[in-house]
Structure 1
């Protein structure tokens, strides 16, 4: 397996995930050879990220029309480790890897039913002001929510 530069020890990194979202590869997500299209994991990342953030108590605040902040994806990458095909069942994992002043580095992993890993990824999510578009620091409560979900082994 090729090594992504954001993963030091793959087995430790893999064991730190708690949250996952089940996904079944649809026909429309594949190319003419039946392979998962290279843009689709980013859609899976979005869905897993949104559900993960809901599960730890974040999305309610951001989707509230009164909220002064929103989450913005600042960067996103995906590293493909093996082919994935139409009809396969995947578990798309997401975890907070590190927390900054107004950002969080999220890591992703797409696992097949046999336990093998098809793709991995990472991206930075930044909380920004709706009006000026600049980063807004996490509240102490938000920071604690993120930090309590970082697993250190």
Structure 2
């Protein structure tokens, strides 16, 4: 593995528990039947939102009277194995580290053979809806991320 955010693969892989499942649609492939390289970011988004729903953070962010929203600050993907039309993937999500208003999230995609096919990481920042300025995580939010 060449991803600089993975120090030791086995322990990194064992740190994941939450995942969402996706099936590679025909429209997500190129003329060779490979998963298009831009689609992995949509898979990360889907799994990240499902994770945020799971830890009940989306409720606050979707509240029309809410004052904060999450934004993606950066996102990267490292491709390990080819992925093809109609494959079933599990997109794993975990919190790697928590800052005062940001969270570093790691991703791991596995195929039906339990092989890692791509990995990724990205930062999400919580901002004030009206000002666009960073908004600190509450103690409750930090606790949710650590569980």
TM class by shorter chain equals over 0.9
Residues 91-130 of structure 1 show CA distances to partners (whole Å, capped at 9, x for unaligned) of 0000111000001000001100001111000000000011
Q: What does residue 99 of structure 1 align with?
A: 98
Q: Distance in 2 between matches of 1:130 and 1:8?
A: 35
1:53 aligns with 2:47: no
Q: Give TM-score scaled by structure 1 length.
A: 0.95
Q: Distance in 2 between matches of 1:63 and 1:54?
A: 10
Unaligned runs of 5+ in 2: none
Count of aligned positions: 147
1:22 aligns with 2:12: no
Residues 3-22 of structure 1 show CA distances to partners (whole Å, capped at 9, x for unaligned) of 20000001100011010001
Unaligned runs of 5+ in 1: 149-153
Residues 5-62 of structure 1 show CA distances to partners (whole Å, capped at 9, x for unaligned) of 0000011000110100011100000000000000001000000000001001100000
Shift of 1:131: 1.1
Q: What does residue 112 of structure 1 align with?
A: 111
Q: Give TM-score scaled by structure 2 length.
A: 0.98
1:86 aligns with 2:82: no
Structure 1 runs (4+) greater than 2 angstroms displaced: none
Q: Distance in 2 between matches of 1:87 and 1:147?
A: 34
Q: Distance in 1 between matches of 2:146 and 2:25?
A: 35
Q: What does residue 129 of structure 1 align with?
A: 128
Shift of 1:147: 1.5
Q: What does residue 144 of structure 1 align with?
A: 143
Q: Distance in 1 between matches of 2:50 and 2:79?
A: 23
Partner of 2:96, secondary structure, is strand
Q: Distance in 2 between matches of 1:83 and 1:40?
A: 13
Q: Distance in 2 between matches of 1:77 and 1:34?
A: 23
Q: Distance in 1 between matches of 2:46 and 2:4?
A: 24
Residues 65-112 of structure 1 show CA distances to partners (whole Å, capped at 9, x for unaligned) of 011100000000000001000011100000111000001000001100
